[in-house]
Amino acid sequence: MTPQASYGILAAAEEQKETADEEKATMIKKFPVDETTPLASAERGFIFPLPTQVDGVNARGQDFSEGTILTYINHQGSSFYLKNPVHIGTRLRLIVDLPEKLSEDKNLKLVIKGKVMLIEALRERGPGQKVTVHFDSKYIIKPDA
């Protein structure tokens, strides 16, 4: 990805963040960006908040669908916070709201599946955990040339 494209994506994400409704803004405050993830040290990726829906089966064996904010994403995986407890190896589906600027002001979502590879307890935040997922396959988002 070229520096110009990266800048455009970051600018679009920042614009989306600024125009997010109150509920999303509250979620961003609850789940701040955290650059300390195993994926961040392995590969370059994006560190900016993107609203995301996570679907899967929790540690109690119940289906769940939870809204959260990505704290990190690259072509291999992502990190985010969940209130629902999950186990390592759990398969999750992520539906990521991408910035409208990526698709000429259309509602664009990235739907990708993966397995939980790391769970970190949240000592100071109460219930929940930071979850790192490794994607089943790589994804590429790029403009048509």
Q: What is the pLDDT of residues 108-130, one digit of tens each?
A: 888 899 999 999 987 776 678 99
Task: Print burial letters for 18-45: b (CB count within 10 Å at least 16), e (below 16).
Answer: eebeeebeebbeebeeeeebbbbeeeeb
Query: How do residues 5-28 score in pLDDT, each as one tens digit?
Result: 545 555 555 555 554 444 444 444
The answer to whether position 81 is within a domain reads: yes
Tell whether the model's pLDDT for residue 35 goes beyond 50: no
The answer to whether position 100 is within a domain reads: yes
Domain carrying residue 117: 3-135
Angle at 24 between CA 73 and CA 12, to 5 degrees: 55
Q: How many domains does the chain have?
A: 1
Return the CATH number at 37. Answer: 2.40.10.220
C-beta of residue 114 within 8 angstroms of C-beta of residue 135: yes
Query: How do residues 83-101 score in pLDDT, each as one tens digit?
Result: 999 999 999 999 988 877 7
